[in-house]
Structure 1
């Protein structure tokens, strides 16, 4: 049967059997859909069927290879991402590296469908952030196009990520269960059908009921083989999502939650368990195919996932992770000292991971020994394979709706504006735009600060399509700033401003600094040879060339996420004399429109406002 026909047939079957529903929305939120298969321990909560392909021709032996295909952090990138966001680095045999263009669901679908061939026991799982911070083709339509694409990809199960909460629990419920958007309505003259796969969020609780708002786990079954999946997002989700998005929700410890539900699955006779964790690590190499275990298990990766992996019960056999947008296939010892596979497939659909789990039919567990163990590798979603025609049709359909808005020019640039680096040209450009917009609202605005996580992409000079070199379209701007944060003005003392800069590299940001992107008139030195808050050289902080006065008052423009104390910047949540402006994308558009033209394009900022000592 052709892959597309098979996909459509499975879509129909899944819709008939779909029973997963959210339990209840958080405090002040409405319940969406019926309560079915929601509570752990019920028969329906652990009896979902799964499996792709036809059974083998011979009878089952003791060991059965189970294919686990996985990816993470798609972020609605249906079309091939541009620039560095659409490339991966491959390590060559001679030690050099090569950049490879990668990504796009037309190609991802082809790669996954090809990988499943000859694997009758195949599961496809994801590690969260399938939606949120999405390009215009998906974000403009509240990510309905991405859910539709994931259904066609035959995704079996995913954990939630922090971005699944960008629009709150009610909207997440709608993505799971279907129904037209409450304000935008229906886009395709029919009701949105929702996800054919379960979203798992074992550690996200309704503050009122204390119960998970989503199913905590799910069991895949195929001809006697059972594999359980537990899904969690990072406990610090409230620190990286707007307060409104997580209102009424409580986020529990990842390890404690996974261990709890692993024990529950074991009691139900499910001994093969995979954890889907939207938290990740920092690999020792930027190449997707580096040998993570070359210097010993667990030594090729650092970051939060290491401690999580070391403390999750040995009952869990493999970890699919995400959030850091990094690529790695590592083994990290479990508490019993046995190696356990921990994987991540970068982001934006550029890679997928193919893991073979050896299922022992005698014990019902995954054989994790020196003889029988999980084998795993990341594979590039190359653009040299044929496009999946059903995905091409999907993209074309949604692009037709988006084109009148997305193709509108909003400005001009003289060269690429990258979003990479400790201080990036794109981050600086956004800060400049917000300072300019802030002065339009209040002439007394002194400076602007932009969080690096809010800069989702750069601007490309030679962009695709017929727009012409150097033209910035609304769609490109949307890809850079998709969150619809407002631009907020607040007053801070000079002492508070210095403290904000120190919070970039201290407190919750000590291990993974979050360097704010400054407007052009703010300069300082960051000394990376020091530790913690001392890395910010206090007497180097200057505004318009003059040292900051701790007792003076400064008017600062930020987005609403930072103004609420997000990303660990608690001092930014203490500003006074608030003034709320338009959304940040509109501010960027107005800045580009007022300050650039075809004859006078904006040059990329030099990204030299922060002097870095290493």
Structure 2
């Protein structure tokens, strides 16, 4: 990115000055000066938070359109996303495709049960160029993530790799991790990459910096990132700008797994109601950046950040969740000056051929284009879906109605309470009295068939992380300190989903450390001097989500997996009634 006057312009100015001072100069004999090259168009396809959704998402995407109307569209699926990416790539000669993390992890069964190898295979076929690591890339640990990048069948998890493709070939695109530092001081993956387009005086280069959020260690099992240092995001980005300019970058794109929330529509450019943790990072970024592709919040937005800070004229984009959208970004680059002269972006909904839970084809929404499936990617996805079908469709029980996943992380839901009840049931033999489930670990709603039947694929999609259930002893004082961590200033504020018999009243207007107003177990107040047996998943047991008090427990007993516990609980009655609410109460 060259900010000084181009050489040919300086020569032109000198020539004109000399001509003006030359008496009797023959203007007709002055050599013609070459025309300034036209700007070069480069298209960037932005993706984020794919989460292994290789199949179309069964529930419709609901959103407000630009006219303020409520819309519903069946969307996503790797084969349809591939066609959409190819469609927008074809609109110009030069393009690249960039993702902002969480390609893998928190995935539906057809991808997750195979360690997300099919999600990577689908992205290889889509033609992804770069992906910034997100927090979920570390769900199975950094060594497994390296295998995902490099390929091979080395086993780092309980589940065996290479079950369908042997050997697994690895990612044909590059993971970027500018702020993930190994013990030897090197980054886990490269911090940046370059893509060059055109030749001669039409040549331009785009530099891409990729990274995850600094708080990743609080969002994954700590043992999976042990020894790694996650540094400040803005410092990591700004520190690489000189290297990119030295390498000749004419445009600089940041792809970061951190995001915003907004009150504006998915394709609104007003930045209306923009908020979220990415704002603090954006305010510190080098103004030479042109585009920030973001993620993590699962929100869709496009913000021209100069509306907030005129000194920082970059676009900030996010394409929602699960491959349900892509962001079509266009840069116009002056190859002579090395400047981006214009930029624009639009979020495009990937309307696919949707089906309901019974397999019936859903009518398309005529307000949005419907993409056809890419045949090669569709066949690849079906290979994995077929391999997972027996497990996915096996009935495991019935429930009395639809169990919705939490919206706000402090929302109590019947689904969260159901999971906690199942975990308590599965660990009674270990002396469990209370089970606590983190709302952020509930990935989707649990929606039964018409007769109430739930499949293994349904419960897997709700909890796809392969956690085991851990039971530990805590003093009442430790338990109360743990409950206060729901509302401290360290990371996300979220309440637990607790098991039957537990009740808590909380007040966010109280000072930090005094927000838990009342806690009872079977109607009796928790005794600070008492001992309580508490069950949690292995992610929480290691201090995940910032709940460090969980690591202080003693007399640890490892139980079944969370899914085995849920399946066993669902079989305790012909139909399991969804639990009532009222276990976690916000003070009025």
Do the two structures share a fold, i.e. TM-score over 0.5?
yes
Hey, what does 2:348 align to over in structure 1?
A: 379
Structure 2 partner of 1:546: 524
**Which SS does the other structure have where 1:328 is aligned?**
strand
CA gap 1:474/1:92 in 2 versus in 1, 3 angstroms:
same
Corresponding residue number in structure 2 for 1:43: none
Deviates more, 1:540-549 or 1:149-158: 540-549
Quick check: 1:409 aligned with 2:378?
A: no
Cα drift, residue 151 of structure 1: 0.8
CA pair 62-130 structure 1, distance change in 2 beyond 3 A: same
Alignment of 1:124-523 (within 5 A): 124-182=97-155, 184=160, 186-188=162-164, 190-207=166-183, 209-223=184-198, 224-285=203-264, 287-294=265-272, 300-333=273-306, 337-367=311-341, 372=342, 374-383=343-352, 384-421=370-407, 422-439=411-428, 441-442=429-430, 444-462=431-449, 469-509=451-491, 512-523=492-503
Report the CA distance between 1:534 and its aligned residue.
4.3
Distance 1:80 1:605 in 2: 30
Conserved? CA contact 2:406–2:439, under 8 Å: no
1:585 aligns with 2:563: yes
Deviations 1:437-457 (CA, angstroms, capped at 9, x unpaired): 121x22x32111111121111
**Residue 89 (1) aligns with residue 63 (2):** yes
Q: Following the alignment from structure 2 to structure 1, what is the Cα–Cα distance between the partners of residues 280 and 485?
A: 23
Is the 1:76–1:348 contact (alpha carbons within 8 Å) kept by the matching residues of 2? yes
DSSP-derived class of the 2:91 partner: coil
SS in 2 for 1:484: coil
Could you tell me how far apart the structure 2 residues matched to 1:438 and 1:215 are?
44
In 2, Cα distance between equivalents of 1:611 and 1:420: 15
Q: Which runs of 5+ in 2 are unaligned?
A: 1-34, 353-369
Shift of the 60–520 alpha-carbon distance from structure 1 to 2, 3 Å rule, reads farther
Native 8 Å contact 1:165 1:241 kept in 2: yes
Separation in 1, partners of 2:453, 2:463? 17
**Structure 2 CA distance for aligned equivalents of residues 201 and 130 of structure 1:** 14
**C-alpha separation between the residues in 2 aligned to 1:412 and 1:167?**
31
- Summarize the Cα distance change of 1:302–1:402 in structure 2 as closer, same or farther, 3 Å threshold: same
SS of corresponding position for 1:282: coil
Alignment length, in residue pairs? 526
Q: Structure 1 358/592 Cα, relative in aligned 2: closer, same or farther at 3 Å?
A: same
Q: 1:188 deviation in Å?
A: 3.5
**Whole-Å Cα distance in 2 between the matches of residues 60 and 606 of structure 1?**
71
| SS of equivalent residue, structure 1 residue 107 | helix
1:39 maps to which residue?
none
Q: Are the aligned partners of 1:151 and 1:197 in contact in 2 as well (CA < 8 Å)?
A: yes
How far apart, CA to CA, are the structure 1 residues paired with 2:207 and 2:539?
36
- Sort the Cα spacing of 1:498 and 1:291 in 2 relative to 1 into closer, same or farther, 3 A: farther
Equivalent residue, structure 2, for 1:573:
551
1:92 deviates by 5.4
Contact 1:529/1:613 (<8 A) preserved: no
Find the counterpart in structure 1 of residue 51 from structure 2.
75
Deviation string for 1:396-436 (max 9, x for gaps)? 11122112222222111221111123122222111111111
TM-score of the pair, normalised by structure 2: 0.85
Equivalent residue for 2:586? 612
Distance 1:232 1:185, change over 3 A: closer
Contact kept? 2:179, 2:231, Cα under 8 Å: yes
Distance (whole Å) between structure 1 residues aligned to residue 446 and residue 54 of structure 2: 18
Q: 2: distance between equivalents of 1:267 and 1:109?
A: 34
SS for the counterpart of 2:170 is: coil
Cα shift readout 1:564-583 (whole Å, capped 9, x = no counterpart): 22111122221122111122
Cα pair 1:228 1:274 within 8 Å, conserved: yes
Consecutive unaligned residues of structure 1, counting only runs of 5 or more, are 1-58, 295-299, 463-467
Q: Which residue of 2 aligns with 1:562?
A: 540
Pairwise CA distance, 1:181:
4.4
CA deviations on 1:336-383 (whole Å, 9 max, x unpaired) are 72332111111111111111122121222323xxxx3x2112121112
Q: 1:605 to 1:352 in 2, by over 3 A?
A: farther
User: What TM-score comes out, normalization by structure 1 length?
Assistant: 0.82
RMSD: 2.1
Maintained 8 Å contact 2:63/2:266: yes
Kindly indicate whether the alpha-carbon contact (under 8 Å) linking 2:477 and 2:529 is maintained by their aligned counterparts in 1: yes
1:608 Cα offset (Å): 3.0
Q: Structure 1 residues 596 and 66 mapped into 2: Cα distance closer, same or farther (>3 Å)? A: farther
